[in-house]
Chains A and B, each alone.
Chain A
Amino acid sequence: MDFIYDTWPWYVSGPLIALVMFLLLFAGKSFGMSSNLRTMCSAMGAEKFADFFKFDWKANIWNLTVVLGVVIGGFLASTFFSNNVVTINPVIATQLQEDYNFNSVNSSYLPKEIFSAEALDNPFNILILLIGGLLVGFGARYAGGCTSGHAISGLSNLQTPSLIAVIGFFIGGLLMIHLLFPLIF
């Protein structure tokens, strides 16, 4: 049973993600997790602000059904199949503690320093979460896809635009961690 509780290694997780993509392709759909944000915006009446949201969002209900499934999957995995502790490279963990005081590293799934009720008493952390989300939502639509749509689906289809987008993801990520983190935290 240890296998169920431990971290699923990359050679199990990666192939399962490919399986999810193929299941969606066989269902006549495509694998992309950020387009549902546009569906939700449209469903909430965003067409008042931009024509970009004027489309038959009801045809994309399947996409929201997948989202509901993902939420349920997160609940099942965290409740029944996990001790909810992520263990990362000890060198990186020590550096996170020393440089940024992220002391919850290697003892929780998410950093309590940002993702806990107490952390939200500090308006600065609310701003971090809001701005981070804003960048993800804006960037995903600007680039026409996210990790699933470009990095997995697009690269699997050998699309040059997806390769450019993935290079962009990593430029952005490296800039954030190496240049901006020391200024933010």
Chain B
Amino acid sequence: MRFISFLGIGILFGIVLYKSEAASWFRIYEMFQLGSFHMYGIIASAVILGVAGLYFIKKKEIKALNGTAINPTPKEFSVTRYLVGGIFFGLGWALVGACPGPMYVLIGAGYWPILIVIVGALLGTLLYGVLRTKLPH
């Protein structure tokens, strides 16, 4: 049951990412060229509903199905790691036009060269793990 639920959520997410074209390199390029409201509208409408929904959930103390409180853990405050890490991420996102979700969508859609991007992303994750103690956070 748990397997089917998570699989179902993933399938929904994959379809939405493909059909919204958030998984298209062209849409990411267009976004950074400020050529269309499309991508900004996707993020903004998701965030506005997210803020409203989370506010309601916390106010009414609505619990998750397993009975635990729904209260995403706030991240520890810092500027360096978020800004510098974010810039690295943005450079890659704009170059290959795919962030982690869309990478998996594109495997399913049969764009095999995306596998090279995923290998790169795994190596990048490994590199962070190795350098973590030496990086400013």
Answer whether A120 and B113 are a contact pair too, CB < 8 Å, given A41-B122, A69-B10.
yes
Interface size bracket, B side: 35 or more
Which residues in window 39-86 of B have CB below 8 A to A?
Answer: 39-47, 49-51, 53-54, 57, 64-66, 68, 70, 72, 74-79, 81-86
| A184 / chain B contacts, CB cutoff of 8 Å | 95
Distance (Å) between the CB of B90 and the closest chain A CB? 2
Partner of B125, one of A37, A62, A120: A37
Q: Classify the interface of chain A: helix, strand, loop or mixed.
A: helix
Q: Is the CB of B120 within 8 A of A136?
A: yes
Total A residues in contact with B, Cβ cutoff 8 Å: 125
Q: State in angstroms the CA–CA spacing of A15 and B16 once bound together.
A: 10
Partner of B26, one of A111, A167, A169: A111
Answer whether A162 and B75 are a contact pair too, CB < 8 Å, given A72-B108, A86-B27.
yes
Query: Residues of B with Cβ closer than 8 Å to A?
Result: 2-3, 5-33, 35-47, 49-51, 53-54, 57, 64-66, 68, 70, 72, 74-79, 81-101, 103-114, 116-130, 132, 135
14 CB-based A-B contacts, threshold 8 Å: A18-B50, A23-B9, A69-B6, A73-B14, A74-B23, A77-B18, A95-B33, A129-B116, A130-B116, A133-B122, A136-B99, A147-B100, A173-B90, A174-B32
